[in-house]
Amino acid sequence: MKKFFYIGALLGGILGVIVALGMDLVLGKSLGGGWQEAVANDLNRLLGTNYGGSHPVVIIGVIGAIGLIAAFGALMGGFSLAIIARILKTLSKEKH
């Protein structure tokens, strides 16, 4: 079961990053900004600063946000694939 969890975690993490970056590329300009603008706006409101989108603190925040999305996707993917593997293993058992 560990093997299936790790495979699901890897796939879930990769898909989480792809979805997050895809949303930024496809919807970023139409919604008024991407991840950098959103993180900069949140930091400026929270800390009362005037950071731009290319400030190192903002870039670290973007990496952290996308990392959280990847971690959550990895956790969901790992559990999902482990459950699916267990169900398929249970269904394929022969009874004598």
Residue 46 is assigned to a structural domain of this protein = yes
What is residue 7's predicted lDDT score, i.e. its pLDDT?
A: 95
Helix, coil or strand: residue 56: helix
d(CA 53, CA 62): 10
In order of 12, 67, 74, 90, the CA distances from 85 in angstroms are: 15, 26, 16, 9
Helix, coil or strand: residue 32: coil
Residue 11 is assigned to a structural domain of this protein = yes
Query: What type of residue is 29?
Result: K
Residue 96 is assigned to a structural domain of this protein = no
C-alpha closest to that of 13 among 64, 55, 87, 69: 69
Residue 72 is assigned to a structural domain of this protein = yes
Residue 48 is assigned to a structural domain of this protein = yes
d(CA 14, CA 83): 19
pLDDT digits (tens, 9 = 90+) for 45-90: 998 888 888 889 999 999 999 999 999 999 999 999 999 999 999 8
What is residue 96's predicted lDDT score, i.e. its pLDDT?
A: 60
Other Cβ atoms closer than 10 A to 14: 14
pLDDT digits (tens, 9 = 90+) for 2-57: 899 999 999 999 999 999 998 888 877 777 778 888 899 999 999 888 888 888 99
What is residue 70's predicted lDDT score, i.e. its pLDDT?
A: 95
Q: Which residue has the tokens 């790790």?
A: 6
Residue 80 is assigned to a structural domain of this protein = yes
Q: How many domains does the chain have?
A: 1
Q: Which domain holds residue 17?
A: 2-24+31-91
Task: Answer yes or no: pTM beyond 0.85.
Answer: no
Residue 62 is assigned to a structural domain of this protein = yes
